[in-house]
Structure 1
């Protein structure tokens, strides 16, 4: 491009003025620092979903273990009640 084209198309160059900054350049001065704006690369981070998935699996396994322990406790209580019933039957219905 020639200097003449630039003078024809840009009135600020013809008038000898410095061109003003555009919207992106003006807004950049008032933008928060990068640490407050978040990641600037825009890439997908795989670690956060993987950690979340592992934590959910761990929670599921803990709940399953708790459920199995409650079931075992219920079976032990049932066995204890049956044993108590058997002892009552032996003492009351068998002659001594």
Structure 2
């Protein structure tokens, strides 16, 4: 039963990753790209956490934590940069 739940969650998260890649490629403004990439990183953190829990390897959970921290810093830096420069939509 646990394997079925794992595979359903993994397929769902992979589908979300595909959709978010398309959304980030088609985004019109800088803030839309930042939001899409932040959500993409969040879903990838969930994939790493799910895979780490399934395999029982703590290295995946460490990588998920580092990616979450880097994603947070990237989002804060990008929004501050945008607030300073007020870019026009592309």
Tell me whether the two structures share a fold, i.e. TM-score over 0.5. no
Of structures 1 and 2, the one with the larger relative CO (CA 8 A, separation 6+) is 2
Larger Rg: 1
TM-score normalised by structure 1 residue count:
0.31
